[in-house]
Amino acid sequence: MRILLVGAGGVGAAIAKIAARRSFFDTMVVSDYDLDRAEQVIAWIEAKHGEQGDRFVAARIDTSDPDSVTSIAREHGVTHVMNAVEPKFVPTIFAGALAAGADYLDMAMSLSEPHPTKPYSETGVKLGDDQFAQAPDWETAGRLALVGIGVEPGLSDVFARYAADHLFSEIDEIGVRDGANLVVRDEVGNEIFAPSFSIWTTIEECLNPPVVWEKDRGWYTTEPFSEPELFEFPEGIGTVECVNVEHEEVVLMPRWLDAKRVTFKYGLGNEFIGILKTLHQLGLDKTDPVTVRSESGPVEVAPRDVVAAGLPDPAGLGPRMSGKTCAGVWVTGTDGDGSPREVYLYHVSDNDWTMREYESQCVVWQTALNPVIALELLAAGVRTGTGVRGPEAFDAEPFLELMAREERDGGYGQAWGLEDRIS
């Protein structure tokens, strides 16, 4: 296996660092628009693990140009393109991978467009619609696009497939629930506002109309931050208020899993929600460029890019962050004996541990873990197929077994939890 890793930011760097401990691939081309950033990732790996020869190679890439992706993939004989950049670049990387004859993986899918007249009741273009429309091209080419294989989407979808296959005879609701007790402090110890993941993506997810799936109704939308609920997260995180947010799981899971309802709720907190609402009111969430006049002349800039540039880089927050983050799936329904059942399947990532082991903050590290596991299963031939598929299209057991098995025995040493929640 020869991998083109597109993006050497927080998640991309963590993917390379996790993969450096594994032996399932021959070469990983670490690429970024900033060549220095790609080279720094490889330098970290070599300082940690010793010289790598040509196992890790740096390259500069233009993610806005599919020909750039194709050219680099062909130059290095790439078999798999791993997309680790903002979802706005999905169409070009997706096209470049197919043109290169390579398989493709991503952690966030092609962007949505709200319904032009009824954005808070009906869907317009859904997340991933553009990619699924191209599924016949991938099938004809005999290539696989494994989409949404981060943590959410990704591990959450694997948990949902496991629940459907092993825990339930009938599912009422699959509810992805994400919460954390993370705190970021400044140099003198004051708690500050600093999103632990890309603010560009966070704005996209949180201010777009959330999507809900119901078997009798199909996909529909609601107002942002709708249906707040208190959810109890494990391992000391505690109770967090969660709200509806647009996310890929809701458009992925119903394609392969039989459930009466699918939702995604995220624990944002009142401060974060207030900031997002203010950004929207001021128009700072927009992606279309506006003209900014300066002493050197007019400059075209997207307001959302300005917000992203003004906040700390999530990749560098680790030393100032403490706490844990939890990704999981809450499932209700009926078990094999016909009795009501309610479970929460989850994985918790502790920032102290991820910083100590990988010098990566826990949110980006937890996201990066799952595509590496998926790549290893593809390399071993455990996962095969063509077309455009989500994580829940595959048997969950090999993934979860490899994830939880101790590192000394060839696994990743990441235990996952299952809580029965009916008293």
pLDDT of 389 strictly over 80: yes
Band (pLDDT 50/70/90 cuts) for residue 196 is low
Question: Residue 343: how many CB atoms within 10 A of its CB?
Answer: 21
What is this structure's pTM? 0.92
- Radius of gyration of the CA atoms of the chain, in A: 21
The CA distance from 257 to 262, in Å, is: 10
- Write the pLDDT tens digit of every residue in 298-310: 888 888 888 887 7
Band (pLDDT 50/70/90 cuts) for residue 287 is confident
- Kindly report the average pLDDT of the chain as a whole number: 93
Strand ranges (E), 280-404? 290-294, 297-301, 321-322, 324-334, 340-350, 387-389
Mean pLDDT of the region 98-108 = 98
CA angle 171, 176, 182 (to 5 degrees): 155
In 3D, which of 331, 310, 317, 290 has the Cα closest to residue 9? 317
The CA distance from 179 to 326, in Å, is: 5
Q: Which residues pair with 294 in a beta bridge?
A: 297
| Residue that is written with structure tokens 């390259």 in the block | 59
- Write the pLDDT tens digit of every residue in 18-44: 999 999 999 999 999 999 999 999 999
- Write the pLDDT tens digit of every residue in 311-331: 777 767 767 778 999 999 999
Question: Topology of domain 155-363, per CATH?
Answer: Dihydrodipicolinate Reductase; domain 2 (3.30.360)
Query: Residue 236 has what DSSP assignment?
Result: T
- Write the pLDDT tens digit of every residue in 363-379: 999 999 999 999 999 99
Query: Residue 87 has what DSSP assignment?
Result: G
The CA distance from 195 to 95, in Å, is: 30
Q: 365 in helix, strand or coil?
A: helix
The CA distance from 144 to 105, in Å, is: 8
Query: Residue 135 has what DSSP assignment?
Result: H
Residue 372, Cα to own-chain centre: how many angstroms?
12
Predicted local confidence at residue 28, as pLDDT: 98
Cα–Cα distances (Å) from 80 to 70, 132, 214, 302, in that order, read 11, 19, 35, 32
Cα–Cα distances (Å) from 43 to 48, 208, 341, in that order, read 9, 39, 49
Domain limits of the chain?
2-150+365-411, 155-363
Question: Topology of domain 2-150+365-411, per CATH?
Answer: Rossmann fold (3.40.50)
183, 323 Cβ separation under 8 angstroms: yes
